[in-house]
Structure 1
Amino acid sequence: MVKEPIFLKPVFKERIWGGTALRDQFNYEIPSDQTGECWGISAHPHGSCEIINGPLKGKTLDQVWESNRELFADQEGEEFPLLVKILDANNDLSVQVHPNDEQALELENYPFGKTECWYIINCEEGAEIIYGHYAQSKEEFAQMVEEERWNDLLRKVKVKPGDFVYVPSGTIHAIGKGIRILETQQSSDITYRVYDYDRRDAEGNTRELHIEKSIEVSMTPHQDVALESIEEVKEGLTSKKLIEENYFTVYHWDLDGGVTNEVEDNYLLVSVLNGAGELIISGNTYSFKKGDHFIIASTISNYELNGQAEFIVSHPAK
């Protein structure tokens, strides 16, 4: 039985809005100067991460999900439930929306919709996201889209480093230029674009829009969700629970020194946003640094963290 952390090799995605921050800020080897996404923890068919240590080295996360379910608290389901990304919005992302589980199954024959959340790692001063809209009915929404009244329709919100944004399925949204985020989401890649600023790719083509599906799945009227974070200090670790909802629980951890934690009947997805340190399990020491992504399996009873580091940590709903 595997009783060591599972370190993962990220998968990178080139995007029309991507840049070089994933290289410049996280020291990743990126495929081009338009790299928009680092899939740090993924078993998705469009990019499953390879394991780079231990007895499972060389296997992909989707393979291990199939063959070693004991590492994941014997969780049921055909698909690994979550996907963790770091995004570099060197330019504005398209205005988009994602379906819920029922809609994804009906429209795309895929078991997961896409509820997600964002932790703002850093951003340019004055940076904005699009979060929600002002239409009061689907008919009004459709009319405003048809008339391209984007300034009247779309709700803009300023963000700053350390902000947390919950984006349930059905929420119209877009990450704005100059923002780097860590995204925790359901393991789905279904995106319906509403508006893409009429921009063209290197071949002069516009990207496909999905207006009818967008209108069908959008929350109308938009409703904000009230969030309440809970902070707990244990030894050298300050843990802030950012959200607990139907698909995931997400924490921000700030480590300054050392802490010993127990694994409580689940597994943890860990991404290192800053700093470095050591993870000690059963007397064995594993180093981690900024940009690393690893899983603490449910077969591990307890672990020790030492160092100065900042993490986003999540686990699926039990």
Structure 2
Amino acid sequence: MKQPIFFRPVFQERIWGGTKLRDVYGYDIPSERTGECWAISAHPNGQSVVRSGEWAGMLLGQLWQEHRELFGYYDSDRFPLLTKIIDANDDLSVQVHPDDEYASNYEKGEWGKTECWYVIDCEEGAEIVFGHRAKTKEELADMMKREQWDQLLQRVQVKAGDFFYVPSGTVHALCSGLLILETQQNSDTTYRVYDYGRRDRDGKPRELHVEKALDVITVPHVQQSIEPTVVKMAGATVTTWVRSDYFTVSKWEVHPRLEMERIQPFLLLSVMAGTGAIATEEGEWPLQKGDHLLLPYQFGPFRITGHVQLIASQP
């Protein structure tokens, strides 16, 4: 029987983290500075564990290696995506990610990182750093050396429900007061550009990666425009924000029923709000806020019922 695969997330403590992952989603977080929930992850730095069912207790990476039929024999040597929820209780470092070619050459075969953000919730006046104003690499290097951050960095005010596509090479940062769902390539490669002079637990300045950052930052900044596709049905609305070489990401708003066809190659779902159920002719499984699951190859046709909001992604 084809069935959804639910996961137990992994939590990462961060200097800028807080308690919203517990307060909003009820997760058992490790500390008051928990910054990230790696909800669906096969990365060696934090792997999700199958929560129940036939493969209970198995790491997602192991499932990927041993049961490729569940993923439609998708052509990749590693699981392609990583889903996170990020609690930015304080400003994250200003940073940039390399593309696949640079990461492969300089990060021991790691992938690059293109990502996207869905703003789950935010404080009034919350903002992000998104891009820069330098016109040439020389101007960029000079402004960074002179620490002219206010003149260099572009800031954008955000609100709940906003979506941002963040290609590799984009200077960016989440600022304080944001709760974000991030869909990204399966990579943990980050080059810090600026970190507000913060120190780590040992009292040492946090490491910056200025030379590598200068190598990979896109100059001039390329503004990303999001043109969502909205499909309204009798009991649901599906908004597709991005279809890229790396992932397709959509929001499913179910009130009270959504019918979907069979899944190819596989689909990741994160329940952002509400309660409901997912069902096929073979069974029904409850859904609640904070659940993260994978629908395997050829799952369905299926239906989702209830009053529930989900983020869906697939390679």
Question: What is the alpha-carbon distance in structure 2 between the residues aligned to residue 277 and residue 294 of structure 1?
Answer: 14
SS in 1 for 2:201: coil
1:263 Cα deviation (Å)?
2.2
Contact 2:18 2:35 in 1 (8 A): yes
Question: What is the alpha-carbon distance in structure 2 between the residues aligned to residue 164 and residue 233 of structure 1?
Answer: 19
Residue-by-residue CA offset, 1:96-118 (whole Å, 9 max, x unaligned): 00000001001112241000000
- 1:135 maps to what in 2? 134
1:303 Cα deviation (Å)?
1.1
Moved over 6 A (4+): none
SS in 2 for 1:145: helix
Query: How do 1:1-318 residues align onto structure 2 when only pairs under 5 Å count?
Result: 3-316=2-315
Residue-by-residue CA offset, 1:40-69 (whole Å, 9 max, x unaligned): 010111111000111111111000100111
1:300 Cα deviation (Å)?
1.2
Contact 2:263 2:298 in 1 (8 A): no
Question: What is the alpha-carbon distance in structure 1 between the residues aligned to residue 102 and residue 201 of structure 2?
Answer: 33
- Normalized against structure 1, the TM-score is what? 0.97
SS in 2 for 1:295: strand
Contact 2:263 2:296 in 1 (8 A): no
Question: What is the alpha-carbon distance in structure 2 between the residues aligned to residue 91 and residue 270 of structure 1?
Answer: 27
Question: What is the alpha-carbon distance in structure 1 between the residues aligned to residue 268 and residue 166 of structure 2?
Answer: 19
1:200 Cα deviation (Å)?
1.5
Q: Give the gaps of 5 or more residues in structure 1.
A: none
Question: What is the alpha-carbon distance in structure 2 between the residues aligned to residue 264 and residue 291 of structure 1?
Answer: 22
RMSD: 1.0
Moved more, 139-148 or 295-304: 295-304
Contact 2:275 2:288 in 1 (8 A): yes
Contact 1:41 1:293 in 2 (8 A): yes
What amino acid sits opposite 1:206 in the alignment?
Answer: P
Residue-by-residue CA offset, 1:127-186 (whole Å, 9 max, x unaligned): 110000001111111111110100011011100000001100000000000000000000
Q: Give the gaps of 5 or more residues in structure 2.
A: none
SS in 2 for 1:199: coil
Question: What is the alpha-carbon distance in structure 2 between the residues aligned to residue 110 and residue 40 of structure 1?
Answer: 24
Number of equivalenced pairs: 315
Contact 2:110 2:189 in 1 (8 A): no
1:264 Cα deviation (Å)?
4.1
Question: What is the alpha-carbon distance in structure 1 between the residues aligned to residue 82 and residue 199 of structure 2?
Answer: 28
SS in 1 for 2:92: coil
Question: What is the alpha-carbon distance in structure 2 between the residues aligned to residue 234 and residue 57 of structure 1?
Answer: 35
Contact 1:144 1:153 in 2 (8 A): yes
Question: What is the alpha-carbon distance in structure 2 between the residues aligned to residue 131 and residue 204 of structure 1?
Answer: 29
Moved more, 96-105 or 69-78: 69-78
Q: Evaluate the alpha carbon distance shift between residue 89 and residue 293 of structure 1 in structure 2; reply closer, same or farther with a 3 A threshold.
A: same
Moved more, 169-178 or 259-268: 259-268
- The share of aligned pairs that are identical, in percent, is 49
Question: What is the alpha-carbon distance in structure 1 between the residues aligned to residue 243 and residue 253 of structure 2?
Answer: 19
Residue-by-residue CA offset, 1:79-111 (whole Å, 9 max, x unaligned): 100000000000000000000000100111224
Question: What is the alpha-carbon distance in structure 2 between the residues aligned to residue 302 and residue 221 of structure 1?
Answer: 46
Question: What is the alpha-carbon distance in structure 2 between the residues aligned to residue 20 and residue 125 of structure 1?
Answer: 18
Contact 1:70 1:299 in 2 (8 A): no
Residue-by-residue CA offset, 1:257-291 (whole Å, 9 max, x unaligned): 11221124221100000001111123311111000
Contact 1:240 1:251 in 2 (8 A): yes
Question: What is the alpha-carbon distance in structure 2 between the residues aligned to residue 234 and residue 112 of structure 1?
Answer: 38
Contact 2:228 2:240 in 1 (8 A): yes
1:8 Cα deviation (Å)?
0.2
SS in 2 for 1:122: strand
SS in 2 for 1:25: helix
- Normalized against structure 2, the TM-score is what? 0.98
Question: What is the alpha-carbon distance in structure 2 between the residues aligned to residue 111 and residue 30 of structure 1?
Answer: 28
Question: What is the alpha-carbon distance in structure 1 between the residues aligned to residue 45 and residue 227 of structure 2?
Answer: 34
Question: What is the alpha-carbon distance in structure 1 between the residues aligned to residue 121 and residue 206 of structure 2?
Answer: 28
